[in-house]
Amino acid sequence: MGSKAILRDAARILDRDQRNIISRWTQRVVKTEAVRSRQDLHLQEVLGAIPLLLTALAGWLRKGDFDEPLNPPEDVRLKARTHAEIRLEHGFHLADVLADFQLLRGEIWRAVCVELYEMHSNPDDILFLGQQLNYALDGVLAATAEACCELSRRKGRAGW
């Protein structure tokens, strides 16, 4: 099993580079058809809860509490659900919200990979980080789907 030190290092990088991660994510997400076709969205509506989610993910990595890796802590789930609800209330589909998180996953990996490969040469550490970070983000996807289903039930819709 890998070292929890790599999780703390990844959290530090996410905290330090949060603005750049969000900036790159925003540049990518505004090029998606779902956002590009919505000229009425303001920057805050495009961002949704992504900045808060990134902070919560860094906190979770820092704590290294992965007893239930596919069940992120409540603050991470809440931020993911909030982002999903914002998107869904603006008429986006579940697939669009999931694409937001795919792009975020890519930007997170972009931010941490090079630096962590230089700091942690042990392949087990890199694998451990990959597993934990992917579990965390998969938990975000699960929370997103859950939010979509709940919102759909409240609005009496069959689906998104």
Which secondary-structure segment (H or E) carries 66?
Answer: none
39-61 pLDDT, tens per residue?
Answer: 888 888 889 899 999 999 999 88
pTM of the model: 0.86
Dihedral, 59, 63, 68, 73 alpha carbons, nearest 10: -40
Q: DSSP assignment of 28-56, as one string?
A: HHTTSHHHHT-TT--HHHHHTTHHHHHHH
Q: Domain residues of the chain, as ranges? A: 4-155
> Which range, of 16-25, 53-62, 83-92, averages the lowest pLDDT?
83-92
CATH number belonging to domain 4-155: 1.10.490
